[in-house]
A and B are shown apart, each in its own frame.
Chain A
Amino acid sequence: MIRLNVNGVVHQVDAEPDTPLLWVIREQIGLTGSKFGCGVGQCGACSVHVDGEVMRSCQMAVSDLKPEQKIVTIEGLSPDGLSHPLQKAWVALDVPQCGYCQSGQIMAAAALVARTPKPTDDQIVTEMSNICRCGTYNRIKAAIKQATGAAG
């Protein structure tokens, strides 16, 4: 049994130690907001926070996580799923197209703005390395700036 703290709830899961965190979250804990896109750390669709850092959960074995580490998924970003400033900005600017990458994008952006409350364009483009196959990059950038009150 592996103990994981996800969105403030402690879960006991019966998973093989090398199972990626992503699949435990999706299949065993039942939170499907974190997506599978590549499984090799390239796309970022699986992005979650571990102790506040954005991590590609397809690249983390559950056995590498300690029970006290705080994992936050898109479902736990805000209590109502609406009120995080980034979520509001995402809605206001109609950022998503298909939406498949957007959980990961928002989690990556949330980690960025937690560390850098008013990121510059340069900081945004260097930190935001997730793939959006639909090409919503410019609206993502605009939404991060809107949410953080940054100019432009």
Chain B
Amino acid sequence: MTDTLAVSRRGFLAGSAATAAAAGGFTFGFHVPRAEAATTPGSPEINAWVVVRPDETVVIRIARIDMGQGTLTGLAQLVAEELECDWARVTTEYPTPGQNLARNRVWGNFQTAGSQGIRQSQEYVRKGGAAARMMLVEAAAREWGVPAASCTVSKGVITHAASGRSTTYGKMADAAAKITPPTDVPLKDPSTWTLAGKPLPRLDTVDKTNGKKVFGIDVTMPGMLNAAIRDCPVLGGKVKSFDAAAVTGMKGVKKVVKVGETGVAVIADTWWRAKTALDALPVEWDLGANAAISHQQVVAMLKEGLEAKEAFVGNQAGDADGAIAGAARKVEATYHFPHQHHVTLEPQTATAKWTADRCEVWCPTQNGEAALATAAAAAGIPVQQCEVYRIDPGGGFGRRATSHDYVRQAVLIAKEMPGTPVKLIWSREEDMLHGWLHPITMAKMSAGLDANGNVVGFRMRISGQSILAGVNPAGLQNGRDPILFQGLNPSGTEGTFGYDIPNVLVDHAMRNPPVNPGFWRGVCNNQNAYYLECFMDEVAQAAGQDPYQFRRKMLQGKSPKHLAVLDAVADGIGWSRPAPAGVFRGIAQHMGYGSYVAAAAEVSVNAAGVLKIHRIVAATDCGHAVNPQQIAAQVEGSFAYGLSAFLYGEMTLAAGKVEQENLDTYQIIRMDEFPAVETRVVTSGGFWGGVGEPTIFVAAPAVANAIFAATGKRVRDLPLKHNDLRRA
């Protein structure tokens, strides 16, 4: 039994539709988001994952967050599958990080990043569902004095056929909660699934169509104030001085506060008034050592790394340099993938309430435990006296896993107003200026071909930024960042290089410009797949071979799963048949986050050099598919993300500050440019791969290779907008 959730929810009041006139004041709704409101106090917890209410509602606890990727529904499907409850009566709730801490991390890891929401927790959540079912059945069997094995269960109804008796989960919940949990918990064979694996509708859609869904930016509570912040626009800079008196008389302004050494915030009754005052606030900065850094310097730094002697090795087999030197033919090219911004459509935001002995935060986060640790550190209060209430993010993409800088700031600001909840919202400009960017890299590749057009050696030098060096240096391995080699590794779930090439050398010269790096949907697979798959197209061309058949030859034998997805997209796009007149095709494959993915694209380029992407066929082998329609949604979404980067995405520095301060200069793909996407889920079973990210890897290289087919031009410098696609 637990009622901790009910207690901890106190104080969460999210503003929503108010109908009465609000004359000059503020109207506060008293709506609690669904996921927070689920548990009825007194409803028994069968185990940490499952609560059954007397009305037969089953509450499934979800440790990972849903930022749109469908994990909430997928995880609930996995639990419900084993629980054998009635899906129509399933509801969900998020336990809090503080509860997880207090209960010895009974819900495991809260981190929702690296496409791991399902693949890293599927076993223990399924066991949670199965154990709860066993306890419920055992309770009925004991009541009836029959062996549990003689009872059956379906949709929350337990039946003892021999005696014609039946009962329900709701009726057995109290007794089941007192039963000692089983230690041996067998799981179903996925081939027998009836809920998991099915394209069920999401559980969380309706409120997203009528404005009721409460995001972090919508949180409101009695007496709450709002804050707008400006942090030093140059990394490493500080606040020198500011003239609070210039704005303290402005309407609604309550206080002007320094936030750490680097920021200034205005607290006001409304956010708009806080922002207006902040815009008027004179601030002087000490911009620090990075104030002179330019884009050109960053590029020069990376170019130097391409030729540097010292580098960390990621994959080595045989003697690549020797094989290439002795090859009949040599192919060489250099590629560049610039900094990218997450642009979660909901800017960073957090609401904090601080008193000397308690600190609470309501925020979007991809890692509630990390948010809690950040909040406690900023609050200066033991973590046991702090709490974070997780709210579904309006987009995550890695931003809200990489850094909880916005939580730290919100707590520091709330500390200036003890007892008063303060909601911090970043303006879009603040969000753009303080991103944790997809790292910038370049790659120089060379390959040697023998007289028959077989690749005898492959050499790849990556130069550029390490994420771990910026966000978690403790994760480096003797200085080496293993994440840099995603998809290029000799083996492993985090990306196996699929091609069968006898001599390979992939290494990395770490060059870290003064920009915060972050985990950005797809992470280093993005540039690695782009580099490798565009270059392989160049090698196929040099060998005079069809790019699909050329890849097939090198995947056959060594990499059957890589090959299967490649074949699936070739089939889907109709590779063996000619494309429509004026339309050209490209293909790419990659492996990462445990999954095998491929894409084939059809594009045309008109005489003015304008690209149209007509169609993309994607395939993924994620081992087991928990919800195929949500997988299709993730594939499309990942393409929108990947293609935005391919077409437009680029963050550059001038005088140490990023130049792209809003969405007019950092463009996102819109509906008019977005292609038709056909998804093939070709699961081979036996393993669990990620879904939210992997297909992003192949969208851009498939399109770039199709652009080559159309124009004869290689897109080696991203984004595409810098490339002239007019035929020479």
Do residues A82 and B212 form an inter-chain contact, with CB atoms below 8 A? no
Q: Which B residues lie within 8 Å of A137 (CB)?
A: 636, 640, 670-671, 674
Assembly CA distance A128 to B204 (angstroms): 24
Assembly CA distance A86 to B691 (angstroms): 28
CB within 8 Å of B: which of A13-52?
13-14, 16, 19-20, 23, 26-40, 42-43, 45
Check if B201 is an interface residue, CB within 8 A of chain A. yes
Check if B280 is an interface residue, CB within 8 A of chain A. no
Do residues A135 and B29 form an inter-chain contact, with CB atoms below 8 A? no
Q: Which A residues lie within 8 Å of B664 (CB)?
A: 40, 42
Do residues A133 and B343 form an inter-chain contact, with CB atoms below 8 A? yes
CB within 8 Å of A: which of B262-294?
270-273, 276
Check if B218 is an interface residue, CB within 8 A of chain A. yes
Do residues B68 and A75 form an inter-chain contact, with CB atoms below 8 A? no
Do residues A100 and B668 form an inter-chain contact, with CB atoms below 8 A? no
Check if B122 is an interface residue, CB within 8 A of chain A. no
- For residue A130, give the distance in angstroms from its CB to the closest CB of chain B: 8
**A23 with B270: in contact, given A33-B210, A33-B212, A36-B425 (CB under 8 Å)?**
yes
Assembly CA distance A36 to B275 (angstroms): 13
Do residues A97 and B22 form an inter-chain contact, with CB atoms below 8 A? no
- For residue B52, give the distance in angstroms from its CB to the closest CB of chain A: 27
Q: Which A residues lie within 8 Å of B670 (CB)?
A: 128-131, 137
Do residues A136 and B345 form an inter-chain contact, with CB atoms below 8 A? no
Do residues B641 and A91 form an inter-chain contact, with CB atoms below 8 A? no
- Residue of B18, B392, B393, B662 touching A29 (CB-CB under 8 A): B18
Assembly CA distance A107 to B629 (angstroms): 25
Contact size range, A: 35 or more
Check if A102 is an interface residue, CB within 8 A of chain B. yes
Do residues A30 and B395 form an inter-chain contact, with CB atoms below 8 A? no
Assembly CA distance A98 to B68 (angstroms): 4
A-B CB contacts (within 8 Å), total count? 219
Check if B144 is an interface residue, CB within 8 A of chain A. no
Assembly CA distance A43 to B26 (angstroms): 27
- Residue of B67, B208, B251, B345 touching A131 (CB-CB under 8 A): B345
Smallest Cβ-Cβ distance to A39: which chain B residue:
B428
**A40 with B213: in contact, given A10-B21, A30-B28, A35-B394 (CB under 8 Å)?**
no
Assembly CA distance A42 to B664 (angstroms): 7
CB within 8 Å of B: which of A40-93?
40, 42-43, 45, 73-75, 77-78, 81-82, 87, 90-91
Assembly CA distance A45 to B215 (angstroms): 13
Do residues A101 and B345 form an inter-chain contact, with CB atoms below 8 A? yes
Assembly CA distance A137 to B345 (angstroms): 15
Q: Which A residues lie within 8 Å of B671 (CB)?
A: 124-125, 128-130, 137, 140-141
Q: Which A residues lie within 8 Å of B210 (CB)?
A: 33, 74-75, 77-78, 81-82, 87
**A133 with B344: in contact, given A23-B271, A33-B17 (CB under 8 Å)?**
yes
Check if B105 is an interface residue, CB within 8 A of chain A. no
Assembly CA distance A126 to B673 (angstroms): 10
Do residues A133 and B211 form an inter-chain contact, with CB atoms below 8 A? no
- For residue A147, give the distance in angstroms from its CB to the closest CB of chain B: 12
Q: Mark B325-363, 1 if CB is under 8 A from A, else 0.
A: 000000000000000000111110000000000000000
Check if B554 is an interface residue, CB within 8 A of chain A. no
Check if A1 is an interface residue, CB within 8 A of chain B. yes
Assembly CA distance A133 to B428 (angstroms): 14
Which residue among A9, A26, A125, A133 has the maximum number of chain B CB atoms within 10 Å of its CB? Answer: A133
Assembly CA distance A100 to B396 (angstroms): 11
- Residue of A23, A45, A106, A135 touching B272 (CB-CB under 8 A): A23
Q: Which A residues lie within 8 Å of B676 (CB)?
A: 138
Smallest Cβ-Cβ distance to B207: which chain A residue:
A99
Check if A103 is an interface residue, CB within 8 A of chain B. yes
Q: Which B residues lie within 8 Å of A136 (CB)?
A: 633, 636-637
Q: Which B residues lie within 8 Å of A139 (CB)?
A: 633, 636
Do residues B668 and A98 form an inter-chain contact, with CB atoms below 8 A? no
8 extra interface residue pairs, beta carbon distance < 8 Å, beyond A29-B22, A134-B640: A12-B24, A30-B17, A31-B16, A40-B662, A43-B668, A81-B209, A98-B345, A106-B209
Interface residues of A (CB under 8 A from B): 1, 9-14, 16, 19-20, 23, 26-40, 42-43, 45, 73-75, 77-78, 81-82, 87, 90-91, 94-103, 106, 124-126, 128-141
5 A-B residue pairs with Cβ-Cβ distance under 8 Å, sorted by A, are A27-B26, A32-B214, A129-B670, A137-B636, A140-B671
